Chain A
């Protein structure tokens, strides 16, 4: 039977045979359109545990699906597809395929934390969104988001020297996200700075780009931070059943 309302059905559930003859009847093409079942046939019980093992996801098992988070959500107000309540449910019950359908929306959380204050059970949905985005990255389902790339570049400088150099942060970010270094807004900003800043500041800024600022006696702190970061990364990857260091 031809299906006129195909838009209601997920494309992958529509099956059509280009050449099919049943009992001598040629039903090739759209005459042989079938709809695959859409039942959920199992729960992946590891999913909740994996998200709960990542920072921010610890309280996901408390959720009772009241929808306060989605109702409070800044992003949901703009994009109704952004629905933390729904994703928490999918994770809790282990509906991984359904979750992955929304992998390109989940990371859009802006961390305003309105959900955190609305949640009657202290699930901390913002943390769950963060943990879920992290999970998607670690599992290789999504590339690193621009904000993750920024955070990593920023943190790397802090870990290295205890201080950042703004110019380098910006340059690395543009490079790592494949953007040209010459941005009209950037040029305008720099020209503005040169025009308005006292000469003393400009000299310091200029020197910083050559002799990068460093916190005195940072060596021990750097070693401790690097050790801790490495440890947390290893724990997270282990919780997700990944190799000590692999996907990256």
Chain B
């Protein structure tokens, strides 16, 4: 009798891997540190997802339901792995409650942590209540309360979205592009314009990376159908004139400094490596890459391999990733885990 595959993390990637394994007739144990499954889209209360425009609670909720109701998947919430020993095919994981799980292989689907913009203090988060994050705007929309200034609850006349908050910034040690924020911001800008047509939305950017097919629907769509304005300027600082926020920077296209009043400023926060990655690295004996994400061994031969044989990774654990690609990588990691087990069996038979 074969042992189950241990999956760490119950977000889109982990849920996808669990579903793929169960569909192939294999058993999986899914360990989630939070009390509920769903990962960032559920835990952070995302609104409508790119590119389907389904509400996160419906789209990811559906993924949760089909895993929870699957008898081949043993879900353990409020749980973490404290120790991980053994060899491929015979791993033993010790959980927080002291129980042990024997596993053939493991998949790390441990995701990311939202950038905390308190680390970019010149942009005013934590100083001014009306400086918020894309995650907070997602919550304003998904809660049904609408987009309002936290200071006094007014509907903003003018909103600035600052891209690359916690991305592409050597000053704060984050050299990566977080991949999703341009598209997410364009999507939010359209939702704000739709909910409140009198609110003007300005996006301050260095480059726009609404890659692939997102170009038309999100970048072009936000301009052509919703008159969202894009300004090529990296903001220097966000201050206040007493009644409104002042956004300062250089408008590079007119080569002039700007100091424009806004009612609300939104940081398009990037994807940091999971804050637990040092622990995960130590417990599972896997290397992290130079940016602090879980390192991948090869790019082309085996998409999901970490530095430790028999331990795989998928989704945003190994770098900024979209939800749909995380789901695809979850499948890929499940396939890699099954291949790995199959090879061990064949080697033993020869």
Q: Is B139 an interface residue (CB 8 A)?
A: no
For A86, the chain B residues whose CB sits under 8 A away are 253-254
A199 at the interface (CB under 8 A from B): no
Interface string of A30-48 (1 = CB under 8 A from B): 0000000111111101001
Residue of B nearest to A122 (CB): B224
Which of B73-81, B143-151, B226-234, B305-313 faces chain A? B226-234
User: What are 15 of the A-B contact pairs (CB < 8 Å)?
Assistant: A37-B257, A38-B257, A40-B254, A40-B257, A41-B258, A41-B259, A42-B260, A43-B200, A43-B260, A48-B227, A61-B223, A62-B224, A64-B223, A89-B254, A93-B251
Q: Is A138 an interface residue (CB 8 A)?
A: no
Contacts of B231 in A (CB 8 A): 93
Known contacts A61-B227, A64-B223, A64-B230; is A98 also within 8 Å of B254 by CB?
yes
From residue 46 to 101 of chain A, which have CB atoms closer than 8 A to chain B?
48, 61-62, 64-65, 86, 89-90, 92-93, 95, 98
B244 → A minimal CB distance (Å): 11
Given the interface pairs A61-B224, A61-B227, A62-B223, the reply to whether A39 lies near B256 with Cβ below 8 Å is yes
In the bound assembly, the distance between CA atoms of A41 and B258 in angstroms comes to 6
Residues of A within 8 A of B (CB): 37-43, 45, 48, 61-62, 64-65, 86, 89-90, 92-93, 95, 98, 121
Q: Are A42 and B257 closer than 8 Å at their CB atoms? A: no
Q: Beyond A61-B223, A61-B227, is A42–B256 a contact (Cβ under 8 Å)?
A: no
B55 at the interface (CB under 8 A from A): no
Contact residues of B between 230 and 265, Cβ < 8 Å to A = 230-232, 251, 253-254, 256-261
Interface size on B, residues (CB 8 A): 20
Measured between C-beta atoms, what is the minimum distance from A123 to chain B in Å?
A: 10
Taking the complex as formed, is B128 at the interface, i.e. its CB lies under 8 A from any CB of chain A? no
| Per-residue A-contact encoding for B198-232, CB less than 8 Å = 1, 0 else | 00101000000000000000011001100101111
B230: nearest residue on chain A (CB-CB)? A64
Query: Smallest CB–CB gap between A173 and chain B, Å?
Result: 38
- In the bound assembly, the distance between CA atoms of A42 and B257 in angstroms comes to 11
A39 to B259, CA, bound (A): 6
